[in-house]
Amino acid sequence: MALAFASHARRLLIAGAGAPARSLHAEPYQAKVGVVEFLNGVGKGVETHAAKVEEAVGGDLQRLLEARTLWLKKLGIPCKHRKLILSFAHKYRLGLWKPRAEPMKVE
């Protein structure tokens, strides 16, 4: 038991030293993210509201990241899309998600 724990702890220490955080493959991310690129990155139909949201925030991504659900509701965005926008905005603020340069293919 102690030997198994020691080998597991050693693997964690070795993997943590200089190893990439997530993946060995570099993924192409947007260099500069705007409102349209952000919504396109979310996908799932949210991109249909890109023009409406961009006009409302004036092209400022920071205003979109600070948006509340009531404000998005006043723009006429459905509940499911509001939830996706707010969820991905939170992940983006924390640095856990970035929009990809090319949208993912859904098959």
Print pLDDT tens along the chain (107 aa): 555 555 555 555 555 555 445 555 555 655 678 889 999 999 899 999 999 999 999 888 899 999 999 999 999 999 999 999 999 999 999 989 988 866 566 66
Are residues 86 and 67 in contact, defined by beta-carbon separation less than 8 angstroms? Answer: yes
Are residues 41 and 99 in contact, defined by beta-carbon separation less than 8 angstroms? Answer: yes
Domain-embedded: residue 17:
no
3-state helix, strand, coil in the chain (%, to 5): 60, 0, 40
Domain-embedded: residue 69:
yes
Domain total in the chain: 1
Domain-embedded: residue 10:
no
Domain-embedded: residue 49:
yes
Q: From CA 14, how far away is CA 17, in angstroms rounded?
A: 5
